[in-house]
Structure 1
Amino acid sequence: MARTGQFPPVPGERLADLLGVCALTSALPEALVDRAVAAAGRTERRSRALPARTVLYFTLAMWLYPSSGYGEVMRLLLAGLARKHRWARPVPVPSTAAITKARQRLGPGPLRSLFEQVAEVSDPGVASGRHRRRRLMSLDTALLDLPDSPGNRKEYGGSAVAADARALPQVQVVALAESATHAVRAAVFGPRGADLAREILPALGPGQLVLASCGALSYDLWTRARGRGADLLWQAKPSLDLPPLRVLDDGSYLSRLAGPTAADRLVPVRVVDCALPVLDRSGRCTGIRAGRLVCSILEPAGAAAADLTRLYGERWRLDTLLDELDARRGGARPVLRSKTPAMVEQEVWAMLLAHHAIRALVVGDAEGW
C-alpha cells in the first residue's frame, strides 16, 4: 500500500508532467468537469482532501502514466495541477486506500457525462475525412484485459485457475470514430461476446459512410444501420452467401443479403473482392490476404471499387487509440487496474476522455499554454 507523503522528485520530469496535466485541463477545463460531476449528483456536500474534480482528473492521469502506481500517478497529477492552477493547492499524496475510496465515491457517472458532452463537439478548424460528401466513420471493437477479481469474473467472465492470459476477464469496447481525425463520437462496452454493436447505432446518420470489420456484418445489424440513413462499407466473412447477380464495370458485382427466414426481404448490396492488409496488434502490415467488402452504394459512379478498397484499408481501428495513448508499453496490451465492474466502467470512460485530451494537444486545439 502506498504511504502518505511526498515522493522524491524525478530529474527532468517537470516539463513532461506539466505537458501531460495541461493536456487534460486544457481539453477538459475544470468548469466542464464540474458540470459533469454535478449532472451525475457527485458534488461534495463537505470539503474533502480529494474533491471530485481532482479524482476525475486522476482517473484520466492513470492513462497518461499506465506503468505507475496510484501514489505516483497522484503525485504527478497534484504537482502538475499546483504548477498550473490556483485552485489546486499542494497537499500530501494520499494512500492507495484513500484514492481507491475516492474513485468509488466518484463512480462512473461523471466520466460518462463528460464524454457525452465532448463527443458531440467537432474540432474547429479540423476537417473530417470525406468521400463524395460522405463523412468517413469507422466502427471497431477491442477487448481489454481486466484484473482477475471475483466481481470482474462474475460480470465479464474469465477463470482464476487457467494460466493462459486470455482467461483473464475482458471488457469488450465498441466505438464509432471519425476515420481521419480519430475523434471517438460514441462508445459502448460490456462483457466479451455481448451483442453491443446495435447499441451504438443511434450515433449513425445520413451523410456518413461507416466502415466496419466482418464481425459487424449480419442481416439484422445491416438493416438496422441502413435504417439510420448511413451508407455502409463492411467486410464480409468468407462463409457469407453473396451470389453474383450482375458484374459491374469496375469489377465489383451486385448481390443480395438474405435474412435468417424466408419472410425477410432480400437487401441489395454491392460486393468488392479485393486484397486486404493483415495487421498485427500494433497496426503494422504483416502480409496480404483475400477479402470481400460489402457496400450499400450500388453504383460505381458513387464510389469506385478501387476507392472502396483504399478507404477500408485506411479505416480507423480501436487499437490505434491505445497506441496514441502510449498505453501498450513494449507492445503488450494494457491490463486495466479496476477490480469491480463499476470501476471498470469508470476506467474505460477515462480512457476515451484521456484520448480526447491527447488528440486536442496533437491537433493544436488545446488552449491555455
Structure 2
Amino acid sequence: MAVTSSVAEAGPRGRLTDHIELGVLSARFGRDLLEEVLNRTGRREQRSRRLPAHVMIRYVIAMGLFSAESYDEVMRRLVGNLRRLGSWNDGWQVPVKSAITQARQRLGPEPVQALFERAAVPLAGPGTKGAWLGRRRLMAIDATSFDVADTPDNVERFGRMGSGPKASAYPKLHVAALAECGSHAVVGAVLGGCRTGERTLAAGLTRTVGPGMLVMADAGLYSYELFTAFAATGADLVWRIGASVSVGHLRWLPDGSYQALIYAPGLTAARRARLAEDATAGRDIPPALARHVRVVEYTVPDRNPDGDLIVVITTVTDPHDIPAVELAEAYHQRWEEESALDEIKTDLRGPGGILRSKTPDLVEQQLWGLLLAHYAIRALLLEAADPAGYDPDRMSFVKGLRVVRRQVTDQAAITP
C-alpha cells in the first residue's frame, strides 16, 4: 500500500526526500565504513586507480538499484550529475564495460559481504509498529534461490536443479536469510549452491541472532539439530513443524497449549516413551536426546477453509509470558520475510531476471550488492515511517525504490 500524502507529510521527518542528501548510498554506507571493510578484507589498492575500491563498492550496490541497466549505464547514472555539483574532472571519462568488470574482479565479493555483515543490523526502534512481541524483536528465517548466468564456472559452483532433460535452464544460487519482520530488512544471509540444503545454509545464520529476538521459521526448516543450534544462541524460537515430527505430550497448560518433548532423530518409539515418562516425573532429560518445548496448535479458517491444523513449537514455555493466542498471531508475521525476499527478487532484480555476472565470485558480489540496496531502501522507509507513527509494512517499497533511483541519479554519490 502506498503512503498517502497526509502520512508522507506528517511532520518534518515524514517525507522520503528529507532523508537523502548526496544519495542514499552515501548516507547509509559512509566512506569511513567502506574504508574499514576494505582494510579488514585486504582489498585496498596498492596504487591509484581510476576506479578505486570504495567507488566499486558503491557501484556494486548501484547495480542492485538498476538491475535492468547495462554496466556502463549504471556508472553513468552514478556520475551523471557531478558536473553540476562541481565535482567533475573534465579529463575523466565513464569507463567502458571491460574496465568496470576488471575493477569488480579486483574488488571481489569479500568487501561487499563484509559491508553487509557490518552495516545490516536490525532497524526497528522501541516504537516501530509491528516489530515487537512484548520485549522481543520479531525475526524470521527463510530461503530462496536466484537464477544466475549460464556459464561453465557458475554451473560448477552453484549447480542446476534436477538433472538431464529436467534440469533447470539456469544455474541457481541458493540464499538463506534472516529478516526483521517489522522493517522487512534482511540482516543476515548465507549463500551456497542450489544443491546445498536449506537447513545446512540456515545453520550459518545462528551467528546473526541472539537474546531479545523471537525467531520464526516454517516447517521446511525444522530439524532437531537446527532448532537446538538456534536455541543455544539465547534467542527465543517459534517454529512450525510438520505431521512427521514426533512430539511427546507432557501436560496441558491453562491457555490451551501444552508442554512436550521433541526428540533427536533415530530414537525408537520405546525410547521416546521412556523419555516422556522421565520428563513427566521431573527427571533430567539428556539434551542430546530430547528437549522441552511448548506446543501451540490452531487453525485459521478464513485463510484455510480446509481447517488444516497448524502446529508450532516454542522455547517460550511459560504461557503467562506469551499466551498461545499471541504466539499464533506472531507466527504469521513470518510471512513478512517472504515479502522482503519478493521485494529483492521482483522489484529490485526484476521479475524473471537473472544475476548476469559470468563468474561465481562476481555473482556473489552482485547478490551482496542487491541485499545492501534493499537494506538501504528499507532503512529509508522506516526512518520516514517511525516519526509519523506509521507501520513500515504499509510503506510502498516500489515508491521508495523510485525515490532512491532518482536521488542516486540526480545527486551523484561518488567523485571520480
Q: Verify same fold: TM over 0.5.
A: yes
Shift of residue 346 of structure 1? 0.9
Q: In structure 1, what is the Cα distance between the partners aligned to 2:84 and 2:307? A: 50
More relative contact order in 1 or in 2 (CA 8 Å, sep 6+)? 2
* 1:151-300 aligned within 5 A: 151-158=153-160, 166-192=168-194, 193-194=196-197, 195-262=200-267, 264-275=288-299, 290-300=309-319
Q: In structure 2, what is the Cα distance between the partners aligned to 1:31 and 1:345? A: 23
Counterpart in 2 of 1:71? 72
Counterpart in 2 of 1:144? 146
Deviations along 1:148-190, whole A, 9 cap, x unmatched? 1111111111179967684422112112222212333322111
| Change in 2 beyond 3 A, CA 1:40/1:159 | same
Q: Which consecutive residues of structure 2, in runs of 5 or more, have no partner in the other structure?
A: 1-16, 268-285, 385-403, 412-416
Deviations along 1:213-247, whole A, 9 cap, x unmatched? 11221111111221221111011122212243333
Query: Which of residues 301, 307, 312 is equivalent to 2:326?
Result: 307
Q: Which structure: greater helix fraction?
A: 2
Deviations along 1:38-97, whole A, 9 cap, x unmatched? 332222233322222222111111111111121221211121566568388784332222
Q: In structure 2, what is the Cα distance between the partners aligned to 1:43 and 1:362? A: 32
Shift of residue 257 of structure 1? 0.6
Q: In structure 1, what is the Cα distance between the partners aligned to 2:91 and 2:253? A: 68
Query: Which of residues 344, 347, 367 is equivalent to 2:366?
Result: 347
What secondary structure sits across from 1:186 in the alignment?
A: strand
1:302 is aligned with what amino acid?
Answer: D
Q: In structure 2, what is the Cα distance between the partners aligned to 1:187 and 1:202? A: 10
Counterpart in 1 of 2:26? 25
| Change in 2 beyond 3 A, CA 1:163/1:364 | farther
**How many residues matched?**
347
1:190 is aligned with what amino acid?
Answer: G
| Change in 2 beyond 3 A, CA 1:256/1:215 | same
TM-score (normalised: structure 1)? 0.81
Q: In structure 1, what is the Cα distance between the partners aligned to 2:378 and 2:228? A: 33
Q: In structure 2, what is the Cα distance between the partners aligned to 1:98 and 1:331? A: 25
| Change in 2 beyond 3 A, CA 1:39/1:334 | same
Deviations along 1:249-295, whole A, 9 cap, x unmatched? 3332222111124484321222222236999xxxxx99985422111
| Residues 317-326 or 306-315, more deviating | 317-326
Deviations along 1:322-348, whole A, 9 cap, x unmatched? 444574479724411222221122112
Q: Give the CA RMSD over aligned residues.
A: 3.6
Q: In structure 2, what is the Cα distance between the partners aligned to 1:241 and 1:81? A: 63
| Residues 82-91 or 105-114, more deviating | 82-91
Shift of residue 105 of structure 1? 0.8
Q: In structure 2, what is the Cα distance between the partners aligned to 1:154 and 1:58? A: 27
Counterpart in 2 of 1:102? 103
| Residues 91-100 or 122-131, more deviating | 122-131
Q: In structure 2, what is the Cα distance between the partners aligned to 1:146 and 1:358? A: 24
| Change in 2 beyond 3 A, CA 1:272/1:326 | same
| Change in 2 beyond 3 A, CA 1:154/1:168 | same
Q: Which consecutive residues of structure 1, in runs of 5 or more, have no partner in the other structure?
A: 1-15, 280-284
Q: In structure 2, what is the Cα distance between the partners aligned to 1:363 and 1:204? A: 21
Counterpart in 2 of 1:13? none
What secondary structure sits across from 2:238 in the alignment?
A: strand
What secondary structure sits across from 1:245 in the alignment?
A: strand
| Change in 2 beyond 3 A, CA 1:243/1:308 | same
Identity %: 36
